[in-house]
Chain A
Amino acid sequence: DTGVSQNPRHKITKRGQNVTFRCDPISEHNRLYWYRQTLGQGPEFLTYFQNEAQLEKSRLLSDRFSAERPKGSFSTLEIQRTEQGDSAMYLCASSGRGGTYYGYTFGSGTRLTVV
């Protein structure tokens, strides 16, 4: 197992286009998290899955954002009608049954640039 994998690593898109990112967690981890990090800030929580169920969403996750985790394996994060303010690093993380207690394993992120 090579850890948490995120694809693509970089994405440049025009304003108004839709984009989709993929995250493959560590295989034995049942919990998956999405965070967003903008320049000069720490990561900010977006959403959390336990297996296939999306159990928590941040108010940062506007209606243009949707996340799925079919079959409790990989996850996708889609942003519709992208805006320049969506430019950020999108980080995926996973953890086992201990959840936050043992910390997460983060992927390397997908850097989104909206032009």
Chain B
Amino acid sequence: DQQVKQNSPSLSVQEGRISILNCDYTNSMFDYFLWYKKYPAEGPTFLISISSIKDKNEDGRFTVFLNKSAKHLSLHIVPSQPGDSAVYFCAASVVGGNQFYFGTGTSLTVIP
């Protein structure tokens, strides 16, 4: 039962353009969402988060948008850089929960 879904396994973007990665979830009890970035042979690293009381959170080139009614969130990277090429995982947790539920990941390639 995949509660967090990333329907695009891969995405290619030209350097300098915007990358948009999407994530959908099914559990309305999720109240906290994160994006992790993963390079090959490394563990995931925390990128940006958003609480369900907000609809947008921004950190430098990275912005996460949350649409609770649609149970959808997205990560925007502007401008995209070759070093952003990695696998991006969306993750969600519930209030007081001790675990994250991860999506299957989207592999982003930024073409120089």
Interface residues of A (CB under 8 A from B): 4, 31, 33, 40-45, 48, 55-56, 58, 91, 93, 99-109
Contact = CB atoms under 8 A, between A and B. Distances in A.
Across chains A and B, which 10 residue pairs bring their CB atoms closest together, nearest first?
A: A42-B102, A106-B43, A45-B99, A103-B46, A100-B93, A48-B98, A108-B43, A43-B102, A106-B44, A107-B43
A26 B38 CA distance: 19
15 contacts: A4-B43, A40-B104, A41-B104, A42-B102, A43-B102, A93-B43, A100-B93, A100-B97, A102-B49, A103-B36, A103-B49, A106-B36, A106-B43, A107-B43, A108-B41
B93 A106 contact: no
Interface string B13-27: 000000000000000
B75 interface: no
B34 interface: yes
Nearest to A89: B43
Interface in B1-59: 4, 6, 32, 34, 36, 41-46, 49
